[in-house]
Amino acid sequence: MKKLSVSIGQLFGGRFLVMEKLGEGEVGQVYKAYDTQAREYVALKFLHARIASHPKSIESIWAELRLVRRMSHRNICRIYDLEKEDDVYYIKMEYVEGENLKDSLARLGPFTIKKVISLAGQLCLGLQEGHRIGVFHRGFKPQNIIIDRQGNAKIMDFGISLPKKRKKAEFKFRSAEYSAPEQVMGKKGDQRSDLFSLGVLLYEMVTGKRPFRKISSLIEAKGARPPSPTPPSEVNPAVSDRLSRLILWLLEWDPARRPQHVDEVLQELKFFEDEIHLSEAVEAHEQRSMIFPQFVQSKWQRLVRVLKERKIIHTLVVFIGRKQGTQYLFTYFFVKSKLSTPHPFSAMMKLTKQNFWFVVLSILFRLVLGTVIAPMSSGFRLSSPPPYHLILAP
């Protein structure tokens, strides 16, 4: 197998103008290039000779690519083809302009919780698409995640990062610190291995530190797991106990004790997205309409907790919805931060005269708070099946 020799400014294969080196990993070196035929920028991953010289490795990559090329997702970098030019194998990929997660963490330190939840959701959606067709990343690490200027995350090298099964001796790279223990021990990884790696990434994003140090050395030397990581909430007070528990759940040593599917993680992340939305509504100190598919007690308790944390003095919460075909108005009035947690259905009034109640509420707002609530565009007429509308007003 010919030794790889690529230089900046080279017209590789008579087609690709090599512009800059983007990085190097366990599989190969990545360059930004301009495709003179397609007239677009692409990324070329030139496989290392130790991989390209093994027919089984090439066959394995080909098998993965047949699946990977079927994926088209906004959070996954497109992989186009594996080609050979002058005895050199290379993979043509979508070029994504942005900063990888490793450099971003080094530059900014721990991210805000809002940013972490946003990135975590995007990464989970990308993993979900891959897992849906039976492709696992097995090399999930900060260098393989690109964040563009709009804050969108893209997963690189999906399905081509690592062989399905590796020997312990092969784990001498930094990426071992992001790999699941079963992978480090030479066992076959699956979707739960990707979720462990996600847990390592989330831990680092909220604390600026990795949960485990020298994980591969510990396993090789003792054949046992390292001490449990410090809960993220103890390292960073901004991390809630629930988010901390989610991250530690992902970091369970035994794959059977982790989330079994990425859908479970997405369901948990939805809770944090709702809470951030509630917090922003309260912090903005303005009227905000929120739409829930259905009302549940936990959402009410969550709102009360947010209001307590922000020490809101006057807040009128209005729920509008239907119950068994009858339209109701649910209200609760918080005064002087003396908040309790009744179920809003205990304070409901049947809307027999919608406009009348709206006028009453408007007068109350004006007299007590000096504020007038504005009607929704559709008034109190709700579609079927109707959502519940939550109106927060200062």
CATH 1.10.510.10 occupies which residues in the chain?
99-271
The fold for domain 99-271 equals Transferase(Phosphotransferase); domain 1 (1.10.510)
Query: How far is CA 88 from its chain centroid?
Result: 36
More confident site: 326 or 239: 239
Separation between Cα atoms, residue 193 and residue 180, nearest integer Å: 5
Q: Are 126 and 79 in contact (CB under 8 A)?
A: no
Residue 339 has pLDDT above 60, yes or no: no
Kindly state the average pLDDT of the residues 21-36.
89
At 119 the pLDDT is 94
Q: Mean pLDDT check: name the lowest of 98-112, 142-156, 179-193, 363-377.
A: 363-377
Separation between Cα atoms, residue 303 and residue 316, nearest integer Å: 12
The pLDDT > 90 percentage for the chain reads: 32
Q: What is the mean pLDDT of the chain?
A: 73
Cross-strand partners of 99: 147
Q: Are 28 and 47 in contact (CB under 8 A)?
A: yes
**Strand order from edge to edge, sheet including 99-100:** 99-100, 145-147, 153-155
Residue 21 has pLDDT above 50, yes or no: yes
pLDDT digits (tens, 9 = 90+) for 343-362: 333 333 334 444 455 556 55
What does the block give as tokens for 304? Answer: 């009360």
The H or E element spanning position 308 is: helix 297-310
At 344 the pLDDT is 39
At 383 the pLDDT is 32
Domain 11-94 in this protein, CATH class = alpha beta
pLDDT digits (tens, 9 = 90+) for 55-99: 888 888 888 788 888 888 899 998 888 888 888 889 999 999 999
Residue 149 has pLDDT above 80, yes or no: yes
CA distances (Å), origin 19, targets 12, 262, 305: 11, 37, 53
At 115 the pLDDT is 92
Residue with tokens 């109190």: 380
* DSSP assigned state of 367: I
Q: Mean pLDDT check: name the lowest of 1-15, 149-163, 275-289.
A: 275-289
Q: Are 345 and 319 in contact (CB under 8 A)?
A: no
Q: Are 89 and 46 in contact (CB under 8 A)?
A: yes
pLDDT digits (tens, 9 = 90+) for 166-217: 444 444 444 578 888 888 888 888 899 999 999 999 999 999 999 987 665 5
The H or E element spanning position 264 is: helix 262-283
CATH 3.30.200.20 occupies which residues in the chain?
11-94
Separation between Cα atoms, residue 188 and residue 92, nearest integer Å: 27
Q: Are 32 and 19 in contact (CB under 8 A)?
A: yes
Cross-strand partners of 93: 43, 79
